[in-house]
Structure 1
Amino acid sequence: MAKTDAKKSGDGVYYNENAKKGNPWWFQIMVNGKRVTRRGFRTRTEAKKERDALSADLNRGQYIDPTKVTYGEYFADWLAGRDNIEASTREMYQSYFNKHISKHLGSIQLSKLSALDIKKFITHLRTKGINDEPGFEKGLGDESVKRIYSVVDASLNSAESFELITRNPTAKIPKGEKPKVEKKERQIWDNDSVKLVLASSKGTTRFWIAYFLAIMTGMRQGEILGLQWADVDFEKATIRVRRSLRKNKTEFKSVKNASSVRVISISPLTVGFLKEHRDIIEMEKKKLGRLYQDNDLVVCSSKGTPAYASKVLEKWYDICDKYKPAHEPRITYHDLRHQSASIMLNEREDIRVVSKRLGHSTVAQTLNTYSHLLPTGQETAVLSLDRAVGIDIE
């Protein structure tokens, strides 16, 4: 049994379970004659902060009894308290709740939410999506169902950690019945098709440079749309990746993680096309004068404003439909990043170099994503077997 130390002070009693790693601090407080426990704090200071907030709610009469609060009310509090997620992620979670979760789970009391409720919700997403018309049988895709379920699961894990519920009801759902996504190989084109589409579409849209950069650098869509000329060093032939443009927004954000901040070498061909594109933008600046909104962006509108991701994708699909060979699949703008990786790996480039260019946190991440593209080494192995056996064919 874990040894528990009580730390008494003028502001209450806090406990530290010495044998428990991670977040050992917790506290208890009396609410309407009942003892309420909150667990999962990394330090005593964090536990005190939560205890003070709970006490303040009690004094203001704003404390909500966990046995009476609905899942919808709890979800709102849970999301508001997630200060470690980006604004875009928060918006996505809220959208999931508004479109899907609220109607089917929102009014159920948190303490009474069951595994059966969650299973019915999953079935609804798979069969009807956001449509409730009788007989409608087309639901959301596996990836969408998995993402929505994961948000519900995460919120209930937090509720369990804070002892608002005794156990996350999703734990009772059999593993085989939980949403999952079968791993699929990325759709890529052969090199001749890439060359044909890029050559044929050049000059048809101002966003052509964005597609070219995706293939030639492996940068993410937001990184390309947030790239500024100040980050392009023509003399050293490099691009410094340090910011990203929020999807369909006009504001920047930091890149995905520390490994995403990187310097990418660019080819002479890429340097040439970037200089050509820069000249076009300089002409637009002179033409519009004061009306031009100079954000120093490489990819932008004719007025200098940030390019919307949806518009860039729309133009890419136009190019696909018009110029790609009939035997090639229709791929997304994001798939061009994978096209870049496939070209490098098929050319036997060092996996560590590829991983760094893509901004992956580890080489293992690159291997997990692109292992099917790596040479197996079996070509030389089978020749060794031939030499060893040495039987002639008559």
Structure 2
Amino acid sequence: MTVSNLLKRYMSIVSGRFKTNTLRAYNNAIRRINKSPFSQRCISDIRVSDAKKFFVDLHHQNLKYNTIDVMRCILSPAFQMAEEDDIIRKNPFRFKLSSVIPTDAASRKALTEKQKNFLLDKDIEYTRAIPIRNGANERGQWYHDEIIILLGTGMRVSELYGLILKDVDFKEHCIRVNKQLIRTADYLYKVETPKSESGIRTIPMSDSVYQAFRDVMEKRTPPDVERMIDGYTGFVFLTPRGLPRVAAYLQAHMSYLHKYIKKHYDPTFPSISPHVLRHTFCTDMQRSLDVKVLQYVMGHSSVDITLNTYTHMSYENVKKAFNEAMGIG
């Protein structure tokens, strides 16, 4: 059996359990693997050193660490299946990728309080400068409210855009997160459950988040016919044409906003994205919330993710916590 045949067999068994974006990433990874002579090798001939050399060669071809890691995420369980079926003696991909090639990912850092305030201020200025396009008035604070909400809740952007009107409870001051809205590469809308079971949760609203949602509802213009997607309708966030917004819109806005800030105000301003806003919220909240509470609010399946991936401790954080513990004003 070749590597290509093994991957095909593995995906025929497990593809149904993957969400749309994950499945797309895995299929892209398999296509990359199949372009390599490695894909035609017999799986019983592959040793650990062969597996490591395959990744090293990809690294020398200037593929990004994350791209190679997705390949590892599909190769390792596929070979594990072959081991369990007694087709091979040992899974040669059971090692950490970081032990073979260096990571090229920049350390994600949370925004400081000053940077958050600056971002919100310049977002207003930037959105007012956007010209009218295609006859639709796109001036105004089109994404300002979303940025406030993500900074104040830590939601994933797909969860934010998956909210329908009844998910926002103004009476109880809470948001009920139970789905996410995505758009496929074929521009088809899909509603899926959150990333894990832990993603189904209820998040309290702060005063700023409450007001941001009030502003969104006030500015929301219901279309003549509300779009129905997988049985859901009444999505909170709509485009000027009345279609539900998706992550790509906010990601593009923040990318342009970042360029605007760097060009006109601060060339050192850090990269911003919806995920950076989520990371910032988690980092801010870990100073005041119990870690298990924070895990719940973030929708993490493991507390290790909350502690090791999303929080970022700076000297300012340490100093503030130290002063509070010591009673220093």
TM range (shorter): 0.7 to 0.9
Task: Determine the C-alpha separation between the residues in 2 that align with 1:233 and 1:381.
Answer: 36
| Superposed displacement of residue 309, structure 1 | 2.2
Corresponding residue of 1:265: 204
Residue matched to 1:358: 298
1:302 to 228, 232, 240: 240
Q: 2:329 matched to 1:329? A: no
Q: Secondary structure at the match of 1:318?
A: helix
Residue 166 (str. 1) matches residue 104 (str. 2): no
CA-CA distance at 1:342 after TM superposition: 2.4
**1:146–1:180 Cα contact (<8 Å) kept:** no
* Superposed structure 1 runs of 4+ greater than 6 Å apart: 173-176, 380-383
In structure 2, C-alpha distance between the alignment counterparts of 1:81 and 1:200, rounded to whole Å: 49
State the 1:79 CA deviation: 0.7
Residues 189, 328 of structure 1: 8 Å contact kept: no
**What TM-score, normalized to structure 2?**
0.79
Give the number of the structure whose residues are more often strand, by fraction: 1
**How far off its partner does 1:208 sit?**
3.0
Deviation at 1:163, TM superposition (A): 1.0
Corresponding position of 2:24: 91
Aligned partner (choices 350, 358, 368) of residue 308 of structure 2: 368
SS of aligned partner of 2:189: coil
Q: Which residue of 1 aligns with 2:77?
A: 154
1:215 is displaced (CA, Å) by 0.5
Return the index of the structure with the highest Cα Rg: 1
Instruction: Name the structure 2 match of 1:32.
Output: none
State how far apart, in whole Å, the 2-side matches of 1:199 and 1:336 are: 15
Do 2:216 and 2:237's aligned partners in 1 also have CA atoms closer than 8 Å?
A: no
CA contact (8 A) 1:209 1:299 kept: no
1:234 lines up with 2:170 in the alignment? yes
Assess if the C-alpha contact under 8 Å between 1:222 and 1:244 holds in 2. Answer: yes
Q: Does structure 1 conserve the Cα–Cα contact (< 8 Å) formed by 2:168 and 2:174?
A: yes
CA distance in 1, matches of 2:123, 2:117: 10
- Residues 310 and 125 of structure 1: CA distance in aligned 2, closer, same or farther (over 3 Å): farther
CA deviation after TM superposition for structure 1 residue 244, in Å: 0.9
Q: How many residues align?
A: 299
What are the equivalent positions in structure 2 for 1:261-300 lying under 5 Å apart? Answer: 261-282=200-221, 285=223, 289-290=224-225, 293=227, 295-300=233-238
Q: 2:7 aligns with which of 75, 85, 97?
A: 75
Distance 1:353 1:115, change over 3 A: closer
- 1:17 aligns with none
The structure whose RCO (Cα within 8 Å, separation 6+) is larger is 2
Which of these residues, 272, 283, 287, is aligned with residue 342 of structure 1? Answer: 283
What RMSD over aligned residues (CA atoms) do the two structures have, in Å?
A: 3.0
**Structure 1, residues 162-196: CA drift from partner, whole Å, max 9, x if none?**
1111222335x798753564896422222122122
Counting only pairs closer than 5 Å after superposition, residues 105-120 of structure 1 correspond to structure 2 as 105-120=38-53
Query: Is the Cα contact below 8 Å between 2:110 and 2:312 reproduced in 1?
Result: no
Aligned to 2:57: 124
C-alpha distance 313-109 of structure 1, shift in aligned 2 (>3 A): same
Map residues 6-155 of structure 1 onto 2, 5 A cutoff: 69-82=1-14, 83-128=16-61, 139-155=62-78
Partner residue in 2 for 1:19: none
Looking at structure 1, the residues matched to 75 and 271 of structure 2 have their Cα atoms a distance apart, in angstroms, of: 33
Cα deviation for residue 371 of structure 1 reads 6.1
Contact 1:126 1:140 in 2 (8 A): yes
Verify the 8 A CA contact 2:148 2:208 in the aligned structure 1. no
CA contact (8 A) 1:146 1:179 kept: no
Contact 1:72 1:102 in 2 (8 A): no
Maintained 8 Å contact 2:182/2:246 = no
Q: 1:264 is paired with a residue of what secondary structure?
A: strand
Corresponding residue SS for 1:239 = strand
Give the secondary-structure state (helix, strand or coil) at the position aligned to 1:251: strand
CA change 1:381–1:187 in 2 (3 A) is closer
**Other structure's SS at 2:17 match:** coil
Distance 1:227 1:256 in 2: 15
Q: Which runs of 5+ in 2 are unaligned?
A: 128-139
Aligned equivalents of 1:216, 1:266: Cα separation in 2: 8
SS at match of 2:216: helix
| Partner amino acid, structure 2, of 1:224 | L
Contact 1:122 1:179 in 2 (8 A): yes
